[in-house]
Amino acid sequence: MTGGTRGGVGRVPSVVGMTALVAQHLRKTYRSRGRGRPPVVALDDVSLTVGPGEVAGVLGRNGAGKSTTVELLAGARTPDSGQVRVLGLDPRTDRGRVRGVLGVQLQGASLHGALTVRELVRLYRSFYARGLDPDRLVERVGLGSSRDTRFEKLSGGQQQRVSIALALVGAPRAVILDELTTGLDPEARRTMWALVEDLRADGVTVLLVSHLMEEVERLCDHVTILDAGRVVSRGTAAQLVERAGLRPTVTLRTDDPTAADLLARLAAVERVDAAGPRLTVTGASSGPQDPRHGDLLHEVGAALAAAGVVATETQLRRPTLDDAFLTLTGSPLEAA
């Protein structure tokens, strides 16, 4: 982010060659809310790492364990077992120093309602030796016209933007954003996404917890999928699609009876399904790492043209992170 100074927190280990955020083999159980019920296993052997300057995503349905992971990384809770490091520091024992380098935006943070937006951001700025200019930050999160409004009078989306400003005002070297844009309108959502891009440009490490596929796909260098307290998979969106074994498809319409056999013989094609004149051509490659990888649409088009086959309504569909999530966890994220 522009307009501020970073650092200023002495004795924090250099992040060169170091993983910025580390969770190793975290296990966390909660006492059950019902009498006589067994404890809830919120996290079972969860590990994740985020390199310096990376924007990493954690994706999962309600109850997957996302908030628990964030709370353990922030030092707000203690794991039953496993380890956490933030820029080389233990958030439980180095609490003060971690607070100086890690910004955390938590879901539904409760703040002093009688203070105005500007007062709150200035107050939080005063907790740090150095940081961002509060008034510019308030503008940057889109709250310029509400800066003199009391926190309690703000809409849910505006309150959320205040909590993001508070996470950033100390110019942290790493920031955890929990449900960054949930409940925000599309314009505010874009403002927040641009803010994350600014953080990336400034080399700030970002852990973005989300259940919005578009957000994660757009912003994150890699994604960890959590489901029922376990890590299901981790990688770039393309790697997750590949790991899920998903294939691109081309659909088209043709009256030529030879088309299906012709296409099925192509090396780039795994199979062809016909429903009357409509063909669905499934690619053989699951991604760029596959030796059979190529441009399925181009190869299908070229083969049909060479054989003089006329096709219409030709459409390519590439599998998305959404599809990978469904395959890897067994149900869609949107079910949340």
Ligand X SMILES: Nc1ncnc2c1ncn2[C@@H]1O[C@H](COP(=O)(O)OP(=O)(O)OP(=O)(O)O)[C@@H](O)[C@H]1O
Q: Is residue 68 close enough to count as binding ligand X by CB under 6 A?
A: yes
Q: Is residue 312 close enough to count as binding ligand X by CB under 6 A?
A: no
326 vs 174: CA distance, rounded Å? 30
Of 26-65, binders to ligand X (CB under 6 A) are 30, 33, 40, 42, 60, 62-65
Sign of CA dihedral 109, 112, 116, 122: negative
CA distances from 38 to 35, 41, 72, 212 (A): 9, 9, 22, 31
Question: Shortest Cβ distance from residue 223 to ligand X (Å)?
Answer: 14
63 vs 182: CA distance, rounded Å? 16
53 vs 272: CA distance, rounded Å? 44
Q: Which residues pair with 23 in a beta bridge?
A: 48, 84
Q: Which residues pair with 254 in a beta bridge?
A: none
Q: Is residue 181 close enough to count as binding ligand X by CB under 6 A?
A: no
Q: Is residue 105 close enough to count as binding ligand X by CB under 6 A?
A: no
| Nearest to ligand X of 69, 116 (CB atom) | 69
299 vs 284: CA distance, rounded Å? 12
Interface mask toward ligand X for 122-151; x: CB under 6 A: ------------------------------
HSE, CB side, 13 Å, CA atoms: give it for residue 88.
9
| Nearest to ligand X of 40, 109 (CB atom) | 40
Instruction: Please check whether residue 161 is in contact with residue 141, taking contact to mean a CB–CB distance below 8 angstroms.
Output: yes
| Nearest to ligand X of 121, 164 (CB atom) | 164
Among 15, 52, 66, 272, binds ligand X (CB under 6 A): 66
Question: Shortest Cβ distance from residue 241 to ligand X (Å)?
Answer: 22
Question: Shortest Cβ distance from residue 219 to ligand X (Å)?
Answer: 18
| Nearest to ligand X of 13, 108 (CB atom) | 108
| Nearest to ligand X of 59, 263 (CB atom) | 59
Which residues sit at the interface with ligand X, rule CB under 6 A?
30, 33, 40, 42, 60, 62-68
